[in-house]
A and B are shown apart, each in its own frame.
Chain A
Amino acid sequence: MAESLAPSVDRPSTRRPAGRAAAGQGGLAGWLLLLPAAVLLAAFTHYPAVATFLHSLYSTPRGSRPAHFVGLDNYQAMIQDPVFWQSLWNNAVYALGTIPAAIALALVMALWVNGRIRGRGLLRLAYFTPTVLPMIAVANIWLFFYTPDYGLIDQVGHLFGAGAHNWLGSRSTALACLMVVTVWKEAGFFMIFYLAALQQIAPVLGEAAAIEGAGRWYFFRRVTFPLLMPTTLFVLVNAVINAFRVVDHVVVMTRGGPDNATELLLFYIYEVAFKFWDTAYGATLTMVLLAILAAVALGQFLYFDKRVHYR
């Protein structure tokens, strides 16, 4: 992306005066072409980001009392809010639990589907299909899986003599259950990007390695994996964003419960702003989310410049 941010060299058209005239008009025409998209982007991305900050410094208007400036009071309240810390902690566990698993599985899937394996088309279909389904539908299906006693998980458990377990209803397993759903849904999506990258690796490299007698694992470790590094980074950034952006399954499966065990940051924002209608506090919590996303963007930017060799 660093590359794409670099200013492009526009070839000056010196051959005809007509060309020069056109380039001179470029300024106004360019702005006009941009205008509609710029207005919408500013209204629904840049303005709300700034407004979030401003409103986090005000109180929530209630009835006849309008919003008034409260400085950092909302932040003070946030620091003392155990549910906020719980949701942040849950989100960290959720991200650290799902991202490496989803990426590792995606890579393995891509290597398998890219190789000469039997039933390649069917396998690719099986891996990728969860990606096309809405998270809400997926959550409905998995909800049934997790149903105590009656659901598939417990039925399989019964075969091995295990008793009924309330998977989504107990603090110790609820978040893990959501994480399984996320990994199931995302791995196939990330697989696609690895597959695309694998298909761009020159077959000559593999042939050369075979002549040298390099093992497959060695080849993977020293050639394939380093070449996939840009893809891994791209997938990683997307996975982190998704870990903080998608809470549909929380809404359907647990509503943050039991006892806040599956409270994720965005779901907490949703509850605060649209259940308790405390919009100022919602804005304050959103600032934390924005800070996390900004950190990801910054990390990506710095890392792109330094380490990843990018074409």
Chain B
Amino acid sequence: MSALVPAAEGEGAAGRLLETAGAWLLGLVWALPLVYALWTAFHPSAYSARFDLLAPLTLENFVRAWAAAPFARYFLNSFLLVTSILAVQLVLSTLAAFAFARFSFRGRDLLFALVLVQLMVMPDVLIVENYRTLRWLGLIDSVLGIGLPYMASAFAIFLLRQTFKTVPRELDEAARVEGCSYLRLLWKVYVPLARPTYVAFGLVSVSYHWNNFLWPLIVTNSVTTRPVTVGLSVFASTDQGIDWSVITAATLLSTAPLLLAFLLFQRQFVQSFMRAGIR
């Protein structure tokens, strides 16, 4: 066996080099679209598909994109959408998860199974009937209308229930001896202990709804309600011709808040997605 080990190691060194090269090649291919978009957006349109290291840098494309469509309004709409969804999601799923984790009542497990149905059948695929419901409620073309179907999140309930179940019983017994009500107990003991779960779910939720497109496209039809994804698609498909520099600048602009947040809090993002994925 001792003869085998050096051989394996020698083979490993060459293999490792090859692997590093492969990893980097793949990394380059993966980074290319974004790098290319950056190139196009920061150069005059004459250079949008011509590579010249001496090409002049410019912010002109961003200025033109910003002036050509009401992006400020779109950003505001997206911001309102994302925050209102997240706020309601957090409150509702905290209450529901607490009930599932710490109360015993008839039909609890059946109800939980019904909640989990949403993990498979998301509102994304029920567009026809949800549109009908929204029209009945008079919420077509409103920010609330975009958000409402997503405000009860099975995913959040599931994650929080898992977390709440790990809280030691002794803690809430102690709190109850002190005469704590359920809601106070939830607020003082459970919520603080579940902080990492809240952060994880919050990041996943915000990036999901900032990026969501098809449902907002269906529900909205005016500037005052369109989130930035829909605004971008309207902008890119109307009359911009093929000025790719401006379109790419607009594209980067619309992803900038999320992308910057991601670059700044990269570790937090990655860990949140990981945490959300481990069941």
**A interface list, Cβ under 8 A from B:** 1, 4-5, 7-8, 10-11, 13, 15-16, 18-19, 22-23, 26-31, 33-34, 36-41, 43-49, 51-52, 55, 105, 108-109, 112-113, 117-119, 122-138, 140-142, 144-145, 147, 150-152, 155, 184, 187-189, 192-193, 195-197, 213, 215-216, 234, 241, 244-248, 251-252, 266, 269-270, 273-274, 279, 282-283, 286, 289-290, 293-294, 296-297
Contact = CB atoms under 8 A, between A and B. Distances in A.
Contacts of A248: 213-214
Given A51-B129, A192-B277, A252-B233, 10 more contacts: A26-B105, A34-B100, A49-B117, A127-B30, A129-B34, A134-B210, A141-B251, A189-B273, A266-B125, A294-B120
B270 A37 contact: no
Given A130-B30, A273-B131, A38 B254 contact: no
Interface centre among B19, B31, B125, B213 (most CB of A within 10 A): B125
Contact of B169 (A11, A39, A44, A109): A11
B96 interface: yes
Contact of B258 (A45, A51, A132): A132
B173 A282 contact: no
Nearest to A5: B113
B176 interface: yes
B106 to A, nearest CB: 7
Given A40-B152, A125-B266, A196-B278, A136 B129 contact: no
A31 B262 CA distance: 38
B173 A119 contact: no
A213 B113 contact: no
B103 A33 contact: yes
Given A13-B173, A51-B132, A282-B128, A195 B148 contact: no
Contacts of A270: 127, 214, 218
Contacts of B263: 125
A270 B106 CA distance: 40
A241 B120 contact: yes
A271 to B, nearest CB: 11
A231 to B, nearest CB: 8
Interface stretch (B1-9, B55-63, B69-77): B1-9
Max count, chain B CB within 10 A of own CB: residue among A8, A147, A289: A8
Contact of B12 (A30, A117, A216): A216
Nearest to B32: A152
A87 B60 CA distance: 42
Given A37-B157, A132-B262, A283 B129 contact: yes
B93 A37 contact: yes
B73 to A, nearest CB: 18
Contacts of A196: 274-275, 277-278
Contact of A213 (B5, B132, B154, B258): B5
A134 B213 contact: yes
Given A11-B169, A124-B270, A128-B270, A133 B211 contact: yes
A140 B33 contact: no
Interface string B1-41: 10011001000100100011011101110110110110010
B259 interface: yes
Contacts of A246: 124
B229 A136 contact: yes
13 contacts: A29-B99, A31-B105, A39-B152, A40-B152, A45-B123, A117-B23, A123-B24, A144-B36, A147-B244, A196-B278, A245-B125, A289-B125, A290-B125
A274 B218 contact: yes
A207 B270 CA distance: 27
Chain A CB count within 10 A is highest, among B129, B213, B252, for: B129
A271 B185 CA distance: 50
B128 A52 contact: yes
A280 to B, nearest CB: 9
A245 B123 CA distance: 10
Contacts of A29: 99, 103, 182
Contact of B248 (A10, A41, A117, A144): A144
Contact of A44 (B106, B152, B273): B152
Contacts of B214: 247-248, 251, 266, 270
